[in-house]
Amino acid sequence: MSDLHKFKNPVDPIMPNTAIKDSLGRSWIKAPTEGPFQWQIDDLFHVWFHRKERPQEDEIIIFGDVQYKVENVYNQGNEKRCPVQMIRII
Listed by start position, the domains of the chain span 3-88
Q: Give the residue with greater pLDDT, 66 vs 76.
A: 66
Contact yes or no for 62/22 (Cβ under 8 A): yes
Q: Residue 6: pLDDT above 70? A: no
| Angstrom distance (rounded) from CA 11 to CA 54 | 14
Band of residue 7 on the pLDDT scale cut at 50, 70, 90:
low
